């Protein structure tokens, strides 16, 4: 069945039937606006991301369910990066009338499954016809105790730079897809089904352990630079300490030209954060408790936003930032 055989309002009704209302939702899908509340003393956190077919994804490289999952995960990641707890989800969807209803249903399933994992409720959205590409716009709202949000601007000299998980996997998967190579399953998962580090982010916020935080969507170099500039400090990263997965290391042995992807590659959705030296042990304890490795990759120094890299010989060089810009070629 095609979307045009069902129609906008029937689709919205199907979406409404699948959404379950949770805490804080007084009115969800079905009215002119959602009516929501936050726990007493919390600030509202809001983040939106767009995914455009042909720019952010190719439907022949992924499937509806993975796409729904990823569209939500990348937004949850932004709330996590603020040290917040995600709560409400909005789904804007534009598809051509000929779009396959099964693919849309799978997309919804993926999105709702991912939201459900974190008790996030789908409370609204918009549905339109697109003249061609699929356009997905996801908004997530969350909350944090007033004043406990973690911005990009709190890093101080002496803080340690830490990152969760491993870096470079998603970008490597994309490169391999682009050149028609078969993907090891681990890399495929990392690219198509990124995991938002919701628990780590929320706990770093709640326990006030991170001084600054960002999620890595554009690559370590570019995203760290956002922290350095917002905090008006310099950063020194030890190249050798950047965590790489086994699958990544195996692939780089075959093809060494991918070696710098942990520095520049995007879409890992790991958390990059700074921690006062006296709190580093507590962060490792938290990491062990939730079962998500974190790695110390550098230190914050006095300065005005410059990033430097130290190689295994100890030589230090300035970082050449090549993070992705939608309008400028790097
Ligand atoms: P309006 O004409 O005011 O834009 P709509 O008919 O688009 O209203 O939407 C009706 C209800 O359905 C609203 O609650 C809206 O948030 C919800 N809705 C529409 N599209 C979606 C979607 N893709 N996902 C979730 N909720 C949706
Ligand atoms: Mg509408």
Q: What is the mean pLDDT of each run of 10 residues along the chain (330 residues)?
A: 91 91 91 96 97 93 94 97 98 96 96 96 96 97 97 98 98 94 94 96 97 96 96 97 97 94 94 98 98 98 96 90 67
Is the Cβ–Cβ distance between 330 and 265 less than 8 Å?
no
Say whether 170 sits in a helix, a strand or coil.
Answer: helix
- Ligand 1 neighbours, Cβ below 6 Å, are 12, 15, 29-32, 91, 93, 122, 124-127
* Per-residue pLDDT, 163: 98
Is the Cβ–Cβ distance between 226 and 78 less than 8 Å?
no
* Per-residue pLDDT, 326: 77
* Ligand with minimal distance to 136 CA: 1
Task: Determine how many CB atoms are found less than 10 A away from the CB of residue 199.
Answer: 16
Residue from 16, 89, 99, 126 to probe ligand 1 pocket by mutation (most atoms less than 8 Å from CB):
126
Say whether 173 sits in a helix, a strand or coil.
Answer: helix
User: Measuring CA to CA, which residue among 270, 286, 133, 151 is closest to residue 212?
Assistant: 151
Q: Specify the residue with its C-alpha closest to ligand 1, atom 15.
A: 124
- How are the residues of the chain apportioned to helix, strand and coil, as percentages rounded to the nearest 5? 35, 25, 35
* Ligand with minimal distance to 92 CA: 1
Angle between helices 101-117 and 64-80 (to 10 degrees): 30
Q: How far apart are CA 99 and CA 225, in angstroms?
A: 40
**Residue 181 DSSP label:** P
Q: Give the CA distances from residue 178 to residues 4, 181, 182, 263, 264, in Å, rounded to whole numbers and listed in that order.
A: 32, 8, 10, 20, 17
Q: How far apart are CA 87 and CA 118, in angstroms?
A: 8
Q: Specify the residue with its C-alpha closest to ligand 1, atom 7.
A: 126
User: Measuring CA to CA, which residue among 225, 294, 220 is closest to residue 260?
Assistant: 220
Q: Give the CA distances from residue 65 to residues 11, 42, 50, in Å, rounded to whole numbers and listed in that order.
A: 17, 33, 17
* Per-residue pLDDT, 277: 98
* Per-residue pLDDT, 237: 97
In DSSP terms, 161 is beta-bridged to: 274, 298
User: Measuring CA to CA, which residue among 46, 148, 29, 40 is closest to residue 93?
Assistant: 29
Atom of ligand 1 nearest to the CA of 124: 16
Q: Ligand 2 centre and the CA of 92: distance in Å?
A: 9
């Amino acid at each position: 069945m095609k979307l045009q055989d069902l129609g906008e309002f029937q689709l919205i009704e199907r979406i409404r039937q699948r959404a379950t209302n949770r805490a804080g939702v007084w009115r969800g899908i079905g009215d002119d606006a959602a009516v929501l509340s936050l726990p007493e003393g919390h600030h509202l956190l809001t983040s939106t991301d767009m995914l455009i077919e042909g720019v952010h994804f190719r439907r022949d490289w992924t499937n509806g369910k993975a796409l729904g999952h990823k569209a939500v995960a990348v937004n949850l990641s932004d709330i996590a990066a603020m040290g917040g707890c995600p709560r409400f989800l909005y789904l804007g969807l534009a598809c051509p009338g000929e779009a396959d209803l099964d693919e849309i249903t799978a997309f919804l399933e993926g999105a709702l499954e991912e939201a459900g994992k974190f008790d996030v409720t789908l409370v609204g959205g918009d549905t339109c016809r697109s003249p061609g590409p699929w356009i997905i716009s996801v908004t997530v709202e969350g909350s944090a105790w007033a004043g406990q949000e973690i911005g990009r601007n709190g890093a101080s000299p002496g803080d340690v730079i830490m990152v969760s998980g491993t870096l470079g996997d998603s970008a490597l998967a994309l490169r391999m897809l682009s050149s028609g190579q078969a993907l090891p399953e681990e890399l495929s998962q990392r690219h198509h089904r990124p995991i938002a580090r919701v628990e780590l982010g929320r706990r770093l916020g709640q326990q006030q352990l991170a001084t600054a935080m960002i999620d890595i969507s554009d690559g370590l170099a570019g995203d760290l630079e956002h922290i350095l500039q917002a905090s008006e400090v310099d950063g020194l990263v030890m190249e050798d300490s950047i965590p790489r997965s086994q699958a990544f290391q195996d692939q780089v042995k075959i093809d060494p030209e991918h070696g710098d992807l942990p520095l520049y590659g995007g879409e890992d959705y790991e958390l990059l954060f700074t921690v006062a030296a006296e709190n580093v042990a507590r962060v490792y304890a938290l990491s062990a408790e939730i079962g998500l490795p974190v790695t110390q990759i550098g230190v914050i120094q006095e300065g005005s936003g410059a990033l430097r890299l130290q190689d295994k010989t100890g030589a230090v060089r300035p970082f050449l930032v090549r993070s992705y810009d939608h309008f400028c070629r790097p």
